[in-house]
A and B are shown apart, each in its own frame.
Chain A
Amino acid sequence: MTKQEALFTYLLRLADDRLILGHRLSEWCGHGPVLEEDIALANMALDNIGHATSLLTYAAEVEDKGRNEDQLAFFRDVREYTNIKLVELPKGDFGFTIARQFLFSTFAMLHYEALKDCADPQLKGMTAKALKEYRYHHRHSKQWIIRLGDGTKESHERIQKSINDLWMYTNELFFMNEVDEVLISEKIAVNLEKLRSDWQKLVEETLKEATLEIPDYKQYMQQGGRNGIHTEHLGYLLGEMQQLPRMYPEAQW
């Protein structure tokens, strides 16, 4: 695998996670539990989608096959999407969305902190900019986890269930293969396994503060997303997201 191929796939993984998560967050627009949270979730949707756009633009440039960011976003099918399954699951209730935001943004924050010495200046610049956003996403979701966990009996039970249900999707955050090996040797990527203990520490600290139980790490863990094997939910999401550009490929807006 060449460095170029590896970098293209790496950028696609980062972008796909964020584009799909951004889409899921955007589904809250007009449906938030209160006006203030509605705006907060829409903001975070836009953070993710905006960052995904930059990543896809750069991915298209690296690929150098005449595709652009829109073609990568709207004209790839389920099997070509490389996001982890965690981000494609339906938005669920507010607690489920918050639990996913917490698990994902904690990882994204650590990942981007680790990329501060990335040897690819463009990726380094983009991730440094987005790091501030993920720090905020982390802070926002962490505060909610604490309030829901240490809140009422019902909020405690529901947020615990969401954490439990999402747990088996978290191992995929640390997925690595040849792509990572090639880029680690180029000092572009980082060893995600090294982030695992920090992620566990941050997650466990907050769960404890929220009086929540830490699920079992040794349970069955989902995989496949990075290789294009997804849950049934991604197809419906892409159907909605891609419908307009596929019906009107030349549409400008």
Chain B
Amino acid sequence: MSEITNDWPVWEVFTQKKSGAPHEHAGNLHAPDAEMALQNARDVYSRRNEAVSIWVVPAEHIVSSTPEDMGPFFDPANDKIYRHPQFYSVPKVVKKRS
């Protein structure tokens, strides 16, 4: 085992509400290792039967976009309406069939 430290690493917790549903971010917690992170996640985020599956990921392994990325990452989509399906009108014949 590693040297004792006062600060356990942070783990991000993702829970799946039912089979087939996506794992959604539930929150985070401290734990010394993966197994304990899973146990803690079970106790902290699923003690009232909220989940059927849990993922825990060391927070340091999550790569996140930064606030500065906001412009270049997300703005270009806004003025390109043709990227959205609503931009295209559907012919009446097609609508009838569906």
Can you list 11 A-B pairs with a CB-CB distance of less than 8 A? A35-B29, A36-B40, A36-B43, A39-B43, A39-B44, A39-B47, A40-B39, A143-B39, A147-B32, A147-B33, A151-B1
Asked if B21 CB lies within 8 Å of chain A CBs, one says no
Q: A40-B39, A140-B39, A143-B35 are in contact. Are A34 and B4 (CB under 8 A)?
A: no
CB neighbours of B8 from chain A (8 A): 34
Contact B43 A147 (CB under 8 A): no
A residues engaging B (CB < 8 A)?
34-37, 39-40, 43, 136, 139-140, 143, 147, 150-152, 155
B29 to A, closest residue via Cβ: A36
Alpha-carbon distance between A22 and B93 when the two chains are bound, in angstroms: 68
Asked if B23 CB lies within 8 Å of chain A CBs, one says no
CB neighbours of A151 from chain B (8 A): 1, 4
A151 to B, closest residue via Cβ: B1
Alpha-carbon distance between A150 and B43 when the two chains are bound, in angstroms: 24
A136 to B, closest residue via Cβ: B42
Asked if B31 CB lies within 8 Å of chain A CBs, one says yes
B window 19-67: CB within 8 A of A: 29-33, 35-36, 39-40, 42-44, 47
Nearest 4 pairs of A and B residues by beta carbon: A36-B40, A40-B43, A152-B4, A39-B43
Contact B43 A43 (CB under 8 A): yes
A241: shortest Cβ distance to chain B, in Å? 23
Contact B1 A150 (CB under 8 A): yes
Alpha-carbon distance between A36 and B29 when the two chains are bound, in angstroms: 7
List 11 other contacts, CB 8 Å, given A35-B30, A36-B30, A151-B1.
A34-B8, A36-B40, A37-B40, A39-B43, A39-B47, A40-B39, A40-B40, A43-B43, A143-B36, A150-B1, A152-B4
A38 to B, closest residue via Cβ: B43
B98: shortest Cβ distance to chain A, in Å? 47
Alpha-carbon distance between A150 and B44 when the two chains are bound, in angstroms: 26
Q: Which of B3, B33, B35, B44 contacts A36 (CB 8 A)?
A: B44
B31 to A, closest residue via Cβ: A36
B8 to A, closest residue via Cβ: A34
Alpha-carbon distance between A152 and B4 when the two chains are bound, in angstroms: 7
Contact B44 A147 (CB under 8 A): no
Alpha-carbon distance between A145 and B31 when the two chains are bound, in angstroms: 15
A235: shortest Cβ distance to chain B, in Å? 32
CB neighbours of B40 from chain A (8 A): 36-37, 39-40
A36 to B, closest residue via Cβ: B40
CB neighbours of B39 from chain A (8 A): 40, 139-140, 143
B42 to A, closest residue via Cβ: A136
Alpha-carbon distance between A152 and B2 when the two chains are bound, in angstroms: 8
A189: shortest Cβ distance to chain B, in Å? 31
CB neighbours of B32 from chain A (8 A): 147
